[in-house]
Structure 1
Amino acid sequence: MKDLEGKTVFITGGGGGIGGGIAQAFAERGTRIVLADIDQGFAQEEASRLPRSVEVMTLPLDVRSPESWKAARVEAEARFGAVDVLCNNAGISTGFRPLFDIPPEEFERVMAINVTGVYNGIQTFGPLMAARREGHIVNTSSMNGLTPFASFAAYSASKFAVLALSDALRDELAPQGVGVSTLFPGLTRSRMSQADLGKISAGDPARRAVIEANMMEPVWLGRAVVRAVEHDEPYIITHPDYREGLRARHERILAAFGDPAQPDYHTGMTATR
């Protein structure tokens, strides 16, 4: 098990919700925290919630910009030294809308933040971790990155991409001693989820109250992330209620495997993990 005390954790989307919960959980392990957010004011708000004994700094960060990442890395390293754990958590939602209603510029923005933002973080800190032969990267996907549904196509596409990227990266970095985990949040209290909730429950306060009552508090997701880093676990599932939906989807996929499309076709190759 990894000892996290005194390590430095860099969290994007650190200005609320899951990012704040991750920060609280790592703070419980005695780490130093860097909270980075497009809105530094939100990050400062989350930093103020941490115990005074915690060493914490906040930074402005546009995850779409390699230059913004470079500037953030320089500041973080000047204060705390090498970053030991990177949590690529920043993300946005499209709300509950059919794909036909998502204009090209909005689709591109979702991909730029949810996917390219993760790539940029990995390119900023991953090579340094590999050179030191230690470190851990946590990429936030979503249960929608495992079980997509209608009205969330663009968001789900971005979160499936995060899963694929993370699985491949875990294999690539394992020989260098760097771990990679993927977080799959379900319904969790955050600005994004509450904004989406407002759209689907407008004019129905009773429905909103029921959904809000079933939102998980972010610190519990954070604690699951901490355990995954400590034990180098590949997947972080915090909402087990989605299990049967995922099982049904996988069964449909496996049922599609049959004889080769070309008679007597055989590659002699197998895909293993």
Structure 2
Amino acid sequence: MELAGKTAFVSGGGGGIGGGMAEAFVEKGMKVVLADVQLDYAKEEAARLGEQALPLALDVTSLDSWAAAREAAIARFGRVDVLCNNAGVSTTWTSLDQFSPEEFERVMAINVTGVFYGIRTFAGDMRQRGSGHIVNTSSMNGLSPYRGLATYSASKFAVFGLSDAVRDELAQDGVGVSTLFPGLVRSRMSMNRASGAQGSGVSREALEARMMDPLRVGRAVARAIETDAPYIVTHPEHKAHFEARCRALLDAFDAGLEPG
């Protein structure tokens, strides 16, 4: 997809990866809608990016909020060509059996249902036009789960599976779908996770040192949209861990139900 002159709608656009996406899109000559539950954060990003950026309040767990945001985006820019379902929340490093049911439901509502609502809101317009692209933010934890982050990993694995299925569903209508698998990227969410790193066995300083510049991620997302790439991986150093997990799964296929 040629990006110049197009409009992108970014949930969780008030900073971090969402802010990096928006900045990369503006570099490409796009207009951007920065939608965030914290409107002040979205306004700060929009002020930095200029008149081509529109800040909006968005609660991704509310279809009514999505509908209002879509209406405002179309009123300002005419249409939305790219949807980035990027809003999400992390969790504290907690054993799953100690995790509260209320917090589990909140994480799923934001990280999974929020992605569904975004697609539900914008995919129909894209299908009718025969063009568009959707980017769903999963995580490295959506490829390789880690102890203490079972709830977060479950939500991000769900985004991965949902995205692959939707990519197949929308391809015939000219709409692309990419899944973003970021490692640690400099953001409020990552800083909050680093502050509670004692449960991970990794120091806060070590986690902060790994954090990538959000603009680098945003530029990778822009390239993926241009080429209709299915996956975007930010931190290749995790490849060996993922390969080991895949190898174990493939070995299970080979072993069969009754080895020998």
TM range (shorter): over 0.9
1:254 to 231, 250, 253: 250
| Alignment size in residue pairs | 257
Is 1:8 aligned to 2:3, yes or no? no
Shift of the alpha carbon at 1:45?
1.1
Deviation at 1:198, TM superposition (A): 0.7
Aligned counterpart, 1:48: 47
- In 2: Cα distance, 1:101 partner to 1:189 partner: 28
Q: Which runs of 5+ in 1 are unaligned?
A: 264-273
Shift of 1:213: 2.4
| Residue equivalent to 2:142 | 145
- 84-93 or 209-218, which moves further after superposition? 209-218
Residues 219-257 of structure 1: per-residue CA shift (max 9 Å, x gap)? 000000000000000000111000000000000000001
3-state secondary structure, aligned to 1:82: coil
Deviates more, 1:7-16 or 1:94-103: 94-103
The residue type paired with residue 19 of structure 1 is G
Return the match for 2:133 from 132, 136, 149. Answer: 136
TM-score normalized by the length of structure 2: 0.95
| Separation in structure 2 between the aligned mates of residue 74 and residue 215 of structure 1, nearest angstrom | 35
Question: Are the equivalent residues in 1 in contact too, given 2:197–2:203 (CA < 8 A)?
Answer: no
* Identical pairs, percent: 58
Report the Cα offset of residue 55 of structure 1.
0.8
**Aligned residue type for 1:256:** A
Normalized per residue, the structure richer in helix is: 2
Distance in 1, matches of 2:96 and 2:46, equals 36
Matches of 2:258 and 2:239 in 1, distance apart?
A: 35
Aligned pairs for 1:158-169 (under 5 A) are 158-169=155-166
C-alpha deviation, 1:262, in angstroms:
8.2
Indicate the SS of the match to 1:93.
coil
Q: Distance in 1 between matches of 2:250 and 2:223?
A: 31
User: What's the CA shift string for 1:43-71, capped at 9, x where partnerless?
Assistant: 01111222x3x511111000000000000
Q: Residue 103 of structure 1 aligns with which residue?
A: 100
Determine the structure 1 residue equivalent to 2:91.
94
Task: Please say if 1:184 is aligned against 2:165.
Answer: no
182-191 or 39-48: which moved more? 39-48
Unaligned ranges ≥5, structure 2: none
- Where does residue 239 of structure 1 map in the other structure? 235
* Residue pair 2:89, 2:189 contacting (<8 A) in 1 also: yes
Distance 1:94 1:208 in 2: 15
Q: Aligned equivalents of 2:19 and 2:254: distance in 1?
A: 46
Q: CA RMSD in A?
A: 1.7
Distance 1:200 1:208 in 2: 6
Deviations 1:71-106 (A, max 9, x none): 000000000011000000000011211111211110
Give the equivalent residue in structure 1 for 2:119. 122
Deviation at 1:199, TM superposition (A): 1.2
Aligned to 2:205: 209
In the TM superposition, what is the alpha-carbon distance from 1:214 to its structure 2 partner? 2.1
The structure with the largest alpha-carbon Rg is 1
Per the normalisation by structure 1, the TM-score is: 0.91
